[in-house]
Amino acid sequence: MEESNLDPALTALREGKMILVVDDLNQPTAGDLCVAAEMVLDDHVSFMAVHAKGLVCMPLLPASMERLGIPLIAADRSTDAAIAYGTSFEARRGVTTGISAADRAATIRVAVDARSNSADIVMPGHVLPIQAAEGGVLEKPGPTEAAIDLARLASLRPAAATCAVLDEAGELAAGDTLLGFAETHGLPVVAVGDVVAHRLRHELLVERLEESNLESSFGGTYRAVAYRNKIDDTEHLAVVRGSLQADRAPLVRVHSQCLTGDVLGSRRCDCGEQLEAAMHRIDEAGEGVVVYLHQEGRGIGLANKIRAYALQDQGRDTVEANLELGFREDARDYGISAQILRDLGIRSVRLLTNNERKIKGLSQHGIDVAERVALEVDPHDGNIEYLRTKKRKLGHLLTGLSGEGGGD
């Protein structure tokens, strides 16, 4: 989905119509009907109950939950995917049983009114609130956060009414069933990932903190520029060589932090060797950038990376270990690197990588990859199987692994 395809959904929300938010547009496994909270009518709630058949919920930001005095229900918070349900509620006045479509619509409109507070609702009730992450899909890429973000992008109050779509067996609708539901009822479809991409393209989410010269044994003098991600406060670094020109595509290496490889010289991977090689290549070219991202272990963090190492010691490969720990095979995101590059005035790059996912990731977030420049280093006994796994399972572009190949 191109970012312009958000427009039909945003127009529909402004007009008080429903849309369908799915987890993935190509192979959806779940979808929520969504309508902006301030536009909710009796018919919306009735349609959700009759056709979608899931629970009618109301995603709210933490500040709105606090304003209304709605406490969170104790829940299993052991995973990032856990849903932050609040205590059910309904409007104190203007409703009867609270369960009718008209009563629930009235309750939602009361809750979205910025003048309402805890005195205007009673608990428990018949509307189930869900507390969304403050940073929206950029903090937690889920349908709850997408509903909030879409309402905001439509210039409406940041709250929504949602309802999961179920199939005839009462299970979450998926695939063609879900997309067919949207087609039958004329609903614009938006994937969570497209909301993420739209925000990363159009909002400045990094803050330049400080910069200083850096003398590197890997090649010359660089300018080190520190950045902060405004959403999660993580810090990243851009290492810049030479004077960048807007009309040229410089050599760029997007490198995810690897403490074990970059600093401790781990032989399990080739990360440190690639970083050094990239800086030498940039030095030889006279200009370029290394964007050093705080994404340890392909995005799973240092402790989980060590857990993955332990599983690899038991015979799993690098992909199997990540999956067994409950993570995606590669959990990295390149949206922040695109923002850093744009802040540096870079719109087009010659990307030092063997990883097609990086090319796609930067392209999706508005950076033109004018050329892929291979960055292969000599494998050795310690990382040869690791590199073969990355080539076989992650699609890395390697020319060979019998003595001259490399990874990313």
- Catalytic residue annotation: 330, 332
* CA pair distance 280, 220, nearest whole angstrom: 9
Tokens (6 digits) for 214: 């850096």
Answer yes or no: are the C-beta atoms of 28 and 179 closer than 8 Å: yes
Q: Which of 30, 13, 230 is nearest to 134 (CA)?
A: 230
Rg (CA), the chain: 24
Residue with tokens 């009309």: 247
Distances, alpha carbon 110 to alpha carbons 69, 121, 150, 159, 164, in Å: 13, 8, 20, 12, 22
- The DSSP-derived string for 337-352 is HHHHHHHTT--EEEEE
Question: What b/e readout covers 43-79, taking b as 16+ CB neighbours within 10 angstroms?
Answer: ebbbbbbeebebbbbbbbbeebbebbebeeeeeeeee
CA 12 – CA 264 distance, rounded (Å): 53
Pairing status of strand 89-91 against strand 19-22: unpaired
Q: By C-alpha distance, which of 370, 374, 364 is closest to 396? A: 374
d(CA 294, CA 106): 45
Q: CA 398, CA 394: separation in Å to the nearest integer?
A: 11
| Contacts of residue 107, Cβ cutoff 8 Å, sequence gap at least 6 | 89, 90, 91, 95, 98, 121, 125, 126, 127
